[in-house]
Amino acid sequence: RGGQFLNVMNGGKMFQHVGNHTASHVAYDHISGKEFIVSSTHHQMMRPSHKGTVFLSAKNGGFKEFMRGEEVVRCSDDVETVDTEAVFYQETRSICFQPHPEFAGFKKLGDYYIEVINIFLFTE
């Protein structure tokens, strides 16, 4: 837990409410090109800052809502936005990982999570 918090602390924002993300779905790794089934119990989603590198995303579609001041702004299905599942901030060495690799039945995702930690944190 804490990926959303780390994203905001690195200048990112959040979609406060999203559709089509309350069931497991496919996410795409931008590093290896692999696909993973990810757990999804969230109704919020990270909106990374320009400092972040998105390395895991999905294309679930659905609406996305965020706050602009006191106004709720909705992006519709036809607006092309990346469904960010994981982002890395080099400056703070923060891995913001939204899926839950610890959930039962997600061993492949858990193994991938450990691999990502090794790539981003233990290689120069």
Residue percentage of the chain with pLDDT more than 70: 90
Confidence at 90, pLDDT banded by 50, 70, 90: very high
Distance from chain centroid for Cα 50: 15
Residue percentage of the chain with pLDDT more than 90: 38
Question: What residues have CB less than 8 Å from 33, skipping those under 6 apart?
Answer: none
Q: What is the rounded CA–CA span in Å between residue 102 and residue 96?
A: 15
Contact 89, 97 (CB under 8 A): no
Spell 25-40 as b/e; 16+ CB within 10 A means b: bebbbeeeeeebebbb
The SS3 assignment for 60 reads coil
The SS3 assignment for 87 reads strand
Taking only the tens place, the pLDDT of each residue in 37-72 is 888 776 788 889 999 999 999 877 677 777 788 888
Report pLDDT for 58: 85
Q: What is the rounded CA–CA span in Å between residue 40 and residue 34?
A: 18
Q: Is pLDDT of 124 > 70?
A: no
